[in-house]
């Protein structure tokens, strides 16, 4: 209730400079008291408007009833309306210069009507009692270079669903129900974070939340803003971090949204060669306009400060960096140097990441950037973009191309698995097997694997083992940890019934064991940014499609040796060269009965002997099964 009931000169100045980082506390709709009357203070930025009024259920949507005041040339309109209460629906009725009336949802609204309705709803965000102080304090110590991070990517509307009660009830879980179910699953599996798709308000379920109309509103599909706060609070109390997908690259053309907001391009570039994405049919934010940059940077801070979010995964970064992204010759405008780099977007990222990471120690900013743009995770002062982490799309592409191959042909593509280690330290990476890889006829992860029946499961276990052993944080999309057969669809829940079948349960057991091992051994994460963290034992055993490597711990204790066989041929006396004449303790064997194999851990300790192998003076022999994975500690 302590909101400013007036836009001041300082507010105007900071907003005009693009540095009003709490602008969301001013613009939008805020419950408060003015001259001893309770009501709601409305404010909106509409620089090209002829006039603006507030319409809602409180004034019968009459555009003449509550006309806003604009007392300067910036286009900031404001009005206090005493009769409005929390829960009321409203829009801004904007009279364009042409005289056309535009009924727009509030860009800064904190809550919206449930789709297909698209009005904004008054809500008071003050007064929630957080109880996650232990997590928030510990978060400040999180070191992206040295700490473990395994992410479970989730689409809340289709993770689990209640039976539908007809078209008007899609069976969504409420944020509170979801908090309990999801926290239980994530803890049991051993992930450290969840990454949520589609939380900001969006009109169309099929966009998965990547075409946003309400940047400041958690979607009403799953409940109220307070329900969403409960969700984050509950996951934090269960020691689980929450990352949101965030979409500053583009927005849809829906009539109630940001497109041509006041009858002219306001949030988007005016030139359609810069302001439209031909591939997606969407508008591109104008990163050269201070008020637009302010809208986005304050939005990132809003989720972190008002909802205690632990990080943002920034979608479609490449589409922002390149002026010719998805455009043919003649469809784009070069920058002042005749190049295809969007200099304004580059400056925006540096500003964004400097402010967010500077203000919030332990928060992460993650770039989904699909090209070889240099220094995405480099410091802005050194010419970098300033992100904490970058999705490793190159690794993902090569990994999936290799894993899809019939094992006979893998020997001709051996380098596909080793190439990523040559650039693993050029950025701080997240290895991702995301939702994008299991839709649009790309097959589910299990169905990408060659062979029939159990062979598919053995291949996938070998694949996931390499992912855990390879430098970089980890991300796996929901359903892939138990071998979902169907491609993902936002319209139905995951095929949880598959866990009643033995091979799916065994795959899930194996992924759980991998995640447990990942968190337990610093060798698998504490040296991710140090090229000394990985050493190949044999990167060139192409004829047998076997890979062996060491992950070194920073302390030199509990180092791990990985041996992975990508063919259905068993090597009963496989000899591996080792760096030291030590005892090697078998800590993970993919062929144990709980994972679907028939090999019991009879021998767990293997002593290296003085016998040359893999160019090393010491080695030991181990019976390596078909598609076998063995991890040894030394």
Please give the positions annotated as active site.
315, 368
- Asked if residue 38 lies in contact with residue 82, where contact means CB atoms within 8 angstroms, the answer is yes
- Asked if residue 231 lies in contact with residue 285, where contact means CB atoms within 8 angstroms, the answer is no
Which pair of tokens denotes residue 105?
A: 């949802």
**3-state secondary structure at position 242:** strand
**3-state secondary structure at position 576:** strand
Query: Cα separation of 248 and 295, whole Å?
Result: 10
CA angle 376, 439, 153 (to 5 degrees): 55
Nearest to 219 by CA among 430, 490, 549, 570: 490
9, exposed or middle or buried, with CB in 10 Å at 0-12, 13-18, 19+?
A: exposed
Query: Cα separation of 284 and 325, whole Å?
Result: 12
Count of C-beta atoms within a 10 Å radius of residue 575: 16
Q: Which residue has the tokens 């064991």?
A: 513
Which pair of tokens denotes residue 369?
A: 């950037």
Q: Per-residue DSSP letters for 194-207?
A: EEESS-EE-S-GGG
Query: Cα separation of 148 and 465, whole Å?
Result: 16
Torsion of CA 609, 613, 616, 620, to 10 degrees: -30
Dihedral angle sign, alpha carbons of residues 354, 359, 364, 365: negative
Buried/exposed code over 486-510 (b: 16+ C-beta within 10 A; e: otherwise): eebebeebbeeebeeeebbbbbbeb
Q: Which residue has the tokens 């109390």?
A: 237
Q: How many angstroms separate the Cα of 200 from the Cα of each of 218, 219, 244? A: 5, 5, 9
- Asked if residue 438 lies in contact with residue 444, where contact means CB atoms within 8 angstroms, the answer is yes
**3-state secondary structure at position 419:** helix
Query: Cα separation of 94 and 103, whole Å?
Result: 6
Q: Which residue has the tokens 């810069």?
A: 274
Query: Cα separation of 578 and 556, whole Å?
Result: 15
Query: Cα separation of 541 and 534, whole Å?
Result: 17
DSSP state of 3: -
SS (H, E, C) 84-106: CCCCCEEEEEEECCCCCEEEECC
Query: Cα separation of 123 and 159, whole Å?
Result: 28
H/E stretch holding 564 reads: strand 560-565
DSSP state of 322: B
């Amino acid at each position: 209730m302590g909101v400013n009931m007036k836009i001041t000169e300082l507010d105007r100045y900071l907003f005009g400079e693009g540095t009003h980082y709490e602008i969301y506390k001013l613009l939008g709709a805020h419950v408060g008291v003015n001259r001893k009357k309770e009501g709601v203070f409305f404010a909106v930025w509409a620089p090209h408007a002829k006039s603006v009024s507030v319409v809602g259920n409180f004034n019968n949507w009459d555009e003449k009833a509550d006309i806003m005041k604009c007392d300067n040339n910036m286009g900031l309109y404001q009005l206090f309306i005493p009769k409005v209460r929390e829960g009321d629906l409203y829009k801004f009725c904007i009279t364009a210069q042409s005289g056309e009336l535009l009924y727009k949802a509030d860009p800064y609204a904190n809550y919206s009507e449930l789709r297909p309705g698209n009005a904004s709803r008054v809500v008071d965000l003050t007064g929630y009692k957080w109880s996650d102080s232990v997590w928030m304090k510990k978060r400040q110590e999180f070191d992206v270079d040295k700490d473990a991070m395994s992410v479970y990517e989730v689409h809340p509307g289709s993770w689990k669903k209640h039976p539908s009660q007809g078209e008007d009830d899609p069976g969504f879980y409420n944020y509170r129900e979801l908090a309990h179910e999801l926290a239980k699953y994530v803890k049991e599996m051993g992930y450290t974070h969840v990454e949520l798709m589609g939380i900001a308000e969006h009109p169309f379920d099929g966009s998965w939340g990547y075409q946003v109309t309400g940047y400041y509103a958690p979607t009403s599909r799953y409940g109220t803003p307070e329900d969403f706060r409960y969700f984050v609070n509950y996951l934090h109390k269960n020691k689980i971090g929450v990352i949101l997908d965030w979409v500053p690259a583009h927005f849809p053309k829906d009539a109630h949204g940001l497109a041509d907001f006041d009858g002219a391009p306001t949030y988007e570039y005016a030139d359609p060669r810069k302001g439209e994405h031909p591939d997606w049919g969407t508008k591109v934010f104008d990163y050269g306009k201070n008020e637009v940059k302010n809208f986005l940077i304050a939005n990132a801070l809003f989720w972190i400060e008002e909802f205690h979010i632990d990080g943002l995964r920034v979608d479609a970064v490449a589409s922002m960096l390149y002026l010719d992204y998805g455009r043919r010759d003649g469809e784009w405008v070069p920058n002042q140097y005749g190049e295809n780099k969007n200099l304004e977007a580059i400056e925006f990222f540096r500003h964004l990441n400097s402010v967010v990471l500077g203000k919030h120690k332990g928060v992460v900013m993650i770039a989904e950037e699909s090209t070889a743009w240099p220094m995405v995770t480099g410091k802005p002062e050194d010419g970098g973009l300033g992100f904490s982490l970058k999705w490793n799309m190159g690794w993902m592409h090569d990994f999936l191309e290799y894993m899809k191959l019939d094992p006979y042909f893998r020997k001709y593509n051996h380098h596909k698995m080793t190439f990523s280690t040559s650039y693993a330290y050029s950025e701080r990476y997240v290895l991702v097997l995301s939702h994008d890889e299991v839709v649009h006829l790309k097959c589910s992860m299990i169905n990408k694997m060659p062979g029939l029946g159990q062979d598919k499961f053995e291949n996938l276990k070998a694949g996931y083992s390499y992912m855990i052993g390879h430098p970089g944080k980890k991300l796996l999309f929901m359903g892939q940890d138990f071998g979902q057969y169907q491609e993902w669809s936002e319209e139905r829940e995951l095929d949880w019934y598959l866990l009643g079948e033995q091979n799916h349960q065994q795959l899930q057991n194996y992924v759980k064991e991998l995640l447990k091992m990942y968190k337990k051994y610093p060798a698998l994460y504490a040296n991710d940014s140090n090229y000394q963290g990985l050493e190949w034992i044999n990167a060139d055993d192409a004829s047998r499609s076997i890979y062996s490597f060491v992950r070194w711990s920073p302390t030199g204790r509990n180092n791990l040796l990985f041996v992975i066989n990508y063919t259905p041929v068993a090597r009963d006396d496989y000899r591996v060269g080792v760096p030291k004449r030590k005892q090697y303790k078998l800590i993970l064997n993919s062929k144990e009965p709980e994972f679907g194999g028939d090999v019991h851990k009879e021998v767990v300790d293997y002593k290296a002997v003085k016998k040359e192998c893999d160019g090393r003076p010491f080695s030991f022999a181990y019976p390596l099964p078909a598609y076998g994975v063995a991890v040894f500690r030394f």
